Amino acid sequence: MIDWGEVVRRLVLNGARYTGLAPLLRSRYGGIGAILMLHRVTAAPRKRLGINRHLAITPEFLDALLTDLRSMGYRFVSMDETADRIVAGKCGERFISLTADDAYRDNLIEALPVLEKHEAPITIYVSPGLTSGDVDLWWDVLEDVVTARDEIYLTTAQGRMYVDCSTAARKDEANRTLHNYLTEEIREEDRQPLLRDMARLAGVDHSQPGRETLMTWDEVRQAGAHPLVTIGAHTTCHYNLRRLSDQNAWQEIVDAGRIIEVETGVKPQHMAYPYGYERAVGDREVALAAAAGFRTAVTTRHGVLLPEHAAHMQALPRISVNGRYQRLAHMRTMLTGITTPLANRGKTLVTT
């Protein structure tokens, strides 16, 4: 959900764009392929503060991107084939695997026709709590609350917290402050009850964002029946696993697989960690995903795939197709692999 060093990336993307070194860089750093990460694909995202606008791209951009990737010689493969290719470790034809987190309805309605046109498989990672509506799309609820209120008071362990939401700029700041508070300062399990209280006081419907934008189980089944779609697991309640006890983290991973199997009839082989950044996925989570039997698990760490990932199948990095940079040049630069070490303190083999 949160992006890595955006400033660094912007600098790199703008710099590398003009170098003309892309083919050279790609042969040095490009690896064997890449997993792309999408969230929403829609021409009409909900109007909000725009904090999460990086999570949405348009179907037109997806179409242009896939056309561009094909012209560069990339082959589109499923996560099953991605796993096979990593294990085989061949460096021939490079591949792209598309993935989408959270199972937004627009994946089915707006993205799938584009994917059909390009015969590009996609893996959609379903979080059963989100899909059933038991778990709120909390970051959207937070934006709605901040949009609705001029000021917010919270009782915290440190005392009373006042958040000014009176102007557009303040709302932006307030959203960031509260986002940090809700992800870092309180227990994962306490976030939803607290936000539901805040929503009630603000006259905001906490279930509306999920209801409006996420697939139902019927739609997940419909998506899963499509030959281009693989349904993966995204944990039950979309918690930051690293902040949970051993037992709860294990349960989150295992139960999601079981529920998806019951709902769709197919046991998911692939998993995406919620949030997926360093503070949300570590060695313990990787070991749990492997023990739960997932053939692959993806993070949101930035990077291309190398043959060495065969020893790290439950810690695969991705490249975010980011709504803020809907430019083919940016995607090309990232796929050269040059941004992989730049985003990872010099490392080219990115795991957790």
Which residues in this chain contact Zn ion in the complex, by CB under 5 A? 101-102, 274
Nearer residue to Zn ion within complex by CB, 32 or 256:
256
Residues 6+ apart with CB under 8 A from 281: 241, 242, 273, 275, 299, 301, 315, 352
Taking the C-alpha atoms of residue 37 and residue 320, their distance in angstroms, rounded to an integer, is 5
CB 128, min distance to Zn ion, A: 12
CB 162, min distance to Zn ion, A: 30
Residues 6+ apart with CB under 8 A from 280: 240, 241, 242, 243, 273, 274
Nearer residue to Zn ion within complex by CB, 102 or 188:
102
Which residue from 86, 66, 90, 88 is spatially nearest to 76, judged by alpha carbons? 66
Nearer residue to Zn ion within complex by CB, 94 or 206:
206
Which residue from 321, 342, 295, 305 is spatially nearest to 114, judged by alpha carbons? 321
Nearer residue to Zn ion within complex by CB, 53 or 70:
53
CB 300, min distance to Zn ion, A: 9
Nearer residue to Zn ion within complex by CB, 34 or 256:
256
Taking the C-alpha atoms of residue 218 and residue 98, their distance in angstroms, rounded to an integer, is 22
Bridge partners for 34 per DSSP: 96
CB 101, min distance to Zn ion, A: 4
DSSP 3-state of 308: helix
For 33: left if phi > 0, alpha if psi spans -120 to 50, otherwise beta; the answer is: left
Residue showing tokens 């989408």: 100
Amino acid letter, 217 = W
Nearer residue to Zn ion within complex by CB, 59 or 274:
274
Nearer residue to Zn ion within complex by CB, 224 or 337:
224
Q: Which residue is nearest to Zn ion (CB)?
A: 101
CB 311, min distance to Zn ion, A: 26
CB 281, min distance to Zn ion, A: 12
Over the range 259-271, which residues count as b (16 or more CB within 10 Å of their CB) and which as e? bbeebbeeebbbb
CB 235, min distance to Zn ion, A: 9
